[in-house]
Amino acid sequence: MEATQEKTLQHETTETIETEQAITPFAELDDNVKLALACASEKKAFDMIALDLREIASFTEFFIICSGANQRQVQAISDEINEQLKKQLKSKAILHRQNGELGETIYDEIVLAATTLSTEKTGALIVIQRNVGLRNFIDAGVQLDAKISYDLLVTIFNPATPLHDGAVIIHNERLAAASVFLPLTKNPGISRELGTRHRAAIGITEGTDAVSVIVSEETGLISFVENGTLLRNLDTPTLRNLLLEAMNLPVIETKREPTKTMKEPETEITVG
């Protein structure tokens, strides 16, 4: 009997020690936990404790315990914490997408899709709206409002699909519309070698501040257009940098070597 009581007491003591060791100093807490504690404090919570469970639990990293004067106050504390955490997580998600490595931003999805389409010599025209609205063009196309992904872009421009003809327009990091027909440039100085796809890509950037990415179906070459200026025969890293710079996002070197576009002579004759 005494042995059993001693064993039980030893077990309870061990659990108490482990719990006490899990309490982390405020300076070392995760930002989300600090925010939660600040929200609780603002709502007049008391007896606040943050437990670090990363070493002893798999279902969560931190656990916060606090008290309130009554049920209404406890609910207000919980609601405030949830609301503020949602805002912070959303902000971090946006920052992560903008500053991520290859494959972590919507612009990397565009670059990877353009690279694949280039390899397959599949024509494509991707227009990215900036400050000047493109609503008239979006309304005239097939409206999608879809999450941008490599798979979706490659599928849309597949010649076997009904949406491959025309451009896609990206607005607010969403694929707003496909099969969009754009005005052609009227610049007399544009080379006669350039076909309809390239002329449309240039035309939309002359009348708006949008930027365009083009893949030639004749040669597979990738081009980029901004303010009516056409840059041709781009490799993958160069296209990525141009897109990020155009969108005022930091250009961060990637850790893995991306697939490069096929090498071709500078001269290009495009029909579509």
Q: Which of 40, 72, 99 is the last residue of a domain?
A: 99
**Per-residue model confidence as pLDDT tens digits over 22-43:** 445 555 556 777 777 787 778 7
**Same domain membership, residue 85 and residue 113:** no
**Same domain membership, residue 117 and residue 85:** no
Rg (CA), the chain: 27
Angle, CA of 134, 137 and 143, to the nearest 5°: 100
Q: Is residue 67 part of a domain?
A: yes
Q: Is residue 120 part of a domain?
A: yes
pLDDT for position 85: 65
**Same domain membership, residue 112 and residue 92:** no
**Same domain membership, residue 193 and residue 89:** no
Residue 65, helix vs strand vs coil: strand
Residue 25, helix vs strand vs coil: coil
Residues forming beta bridges with residue 170, ordered by sequence position: 128, 175
Q: Residue 211 sits in a domain of what CATH number?
A: 3.40.1700.10
pLDDT for position 217: 92
**pLDDT of 191 strictly over 90:** no
Cβ distance 219 to 197 under 8 Å? no
**pLDDT of 4 strictly over 90:** no
Q: Is residue 182 part of a domain?
A: yes
Q: Is residue 259 part of a domain?
A: no
d(CA 142, CA 144): 6
Residue 54 or 223, more confident: 223
Number of domains in the chain: 2
**Per-residue model confidence as pLDDT tens digits over 132-162:** 999 999 999 999 999 999 999 999 999 999 9
**Same domain membership, residue 135 and residue 13:** no
Tokens of 129: 């709206």
pLDDT for position 25: 56
**Per-residue model confidence as pLDDT tens digits over 13-23:** 444 333 344 44
**Same domain membership, residue 113 and residue 234:** yes
Cβ distance 42 to 80 under 8 Å? yes
Residue of 184, 175, 205 lying closest to 270 (CA atoms)? 184
Q: Is residue 145 part of a domain?
A: yes
**Per-residue model confidence as pLDDT tens digits over 47-103:** 777 777 666 654 456 667 778 888 888 788 777 777 776 666 555 444 444 443 334
Cβ distance 213 to 257 under 8 Å? no
pLDDT for position 260: 42
**Same domain membership, residue 137 and residue 227:** yes
**pLDDT of 110 strictly over 50:** yes
Strands, DSSP E only, in the chain?
A: 46-52, 62-67, 124-128, 142-147, 167-171, 174-180, 211-215, 222-226, 229-231
Predicted confidence band of residue 268 (pLDDT cuts 50, 70, 90):
very low
Q: Which of 48, 72, 99 is the last residue of a domain?
A: 99
Predicted confidence band of residue 235 (pLDDT cuts 50, 70, 90):
very high
Q: Domain containing 75: what range?
A: 2-99
Q: Is residue 264 part of a domain?
A: no
Residue 171 or 17, more confident: 171
Cβ distance 272 to 195 under 8 Å? yes
Residue 206 or 71, more confident: 206
Burial 163-181 (b: 16+ CB within 10 A, else e): bbebbbbbbeeebbbbbbe
Kindly state the average pLDDT of the residues 221-245. 93
Predicted confidence band of residue 257 (pLDDT cuts 50, 70, 90):
very low
Residue of 175, 205, 176, 163 lying closest to 106 (CA atoms)? 175
The whole-chain average pLDDT of the chain stands at: 76
DSSP 8-state symbol, 102: T
Q: Is residue 155 part of a domain?
A: yes
pLDDT for position 106: 85
Residue 103 or 198, more confident: 198
d(CA 53, CA 159): 53
**Same domain membership, residue 113 and residue 87:** no
